[in-house]
Structure 1
Amino acid sequence: MKEILTSINGIPIRKNFVQNLPYNPYLKKLLKEKRKARILGEVIFWKKVRAKNFYEIDFDRQRIIGNYIVDFYVKSLGLIIEIDSSSHDEKQVYDGIRQEYMESLGLLVFRITDFDVRNNLVLIMKELESFIITHYGTTPSSKI
């Protein structure tokens, strides 16, 4: 049985650490530029989850995985959170290929829009709770 990370609404959440993820060191310079860009939706989401504010879960911002930089990564769950702005409307094929690659590594991707983060943050956080419960939640074993 996998180790329990936290509990959401009384449901234990088990860890799903994915080891040996590929890393392209040439993206480090771009990573710094992306962090400085301070996209509003990312900043709002980061303020909500940083310093283990969301169920004691540790989020990384702007993480390199393979040849990509993901918006947020939860190492203990193998979970990527992508905040899509309107520029992603023309990038659906690219996003699909990218997501397929991440999933091939054993990672899960939770996609939200920048608009929803800016305008419906409470709803987004509830959806993230549900996503985590659905994919990482475990029912406590009953004693007979």
Structure 2
Amino acid sequence: MTQKRLTPAARNLRRSATEAEARLWHHLRNRQLEGFKFRRQYPIGAHIADFACEQARLVIELDGGHHADQIDADTLRTRSLEAAGYHVLRFWNTDVLNNTSGVLEAIREELFTATS
């Protein structure tokens, strides 16, 4: 699937964000995290990344409970995103909701590792 064909699906995902996605987006939007620009529900290759920072070549994926049953699919997705030149960080939704500051710190560390 091309990025152009994924755009309507990405728009729909932006409109129906989970609580964890909305909370993380609140902290990432408008260059709030160390001045890095993030996009949400961003098409990359055949996938739509939950969040992506092109400058740091970083993708952030949030996983709900159903991801426990699709480990193989998530592994393939991660490999595909890495093949496109991105590093992938995955967090459980519960981590974002219960430890937002810890998730943000992990993202911050990765941003500085990726750009140094």
TM-score of the pair, normalised by structure 2: 0.92
Which residue number corresponds to residue 15 of structure 2?
Answer: 36
> Which residues of structure 1 form unaligned runs of 5+?
1-21, 138-144
Q: Secondary structure at the match of 2:36?
A: coil
> Which residues of structure 2 form unaligned runs of 5+?
none
Which residue number corresponds to residue 27 of structure 2?
Answer: 48
- Give 1:23 shift: 4.0
Residues 58-77 of structure 1 correspond to what in structure 2 (within 5 A)? 58-77=37-56
State the identity %.
25
User: Pick from 86, 91, 109: which aligns with 2:70?
Assistant: 91
**1:45-102: per-residue Cα shift (whole Å, max 9, x none)?**
0001100111111000110011111100101111101111111111110110011111
Matched residue count: 116
- Give 1:39 shift: 0.6
Q: Which has the larger radius of gyration?
A: 1
- Give 1:30 shift: 1.4
Amino acid at match of 1:92: I
Distance in 2, matches of 1:96 and 1:30, equals 22
TM-score of the pair, normalised by structure 1: 0.75
- Give 1:25 shift: 1.7
Which residue number corresponds to residue 82 of structure 1?
Answer: 61
Q: Secondary structure at the match of 2:88?
A: strand
Higher helix share: 2
Aligned-residue CA RMSD (Å): 1.5
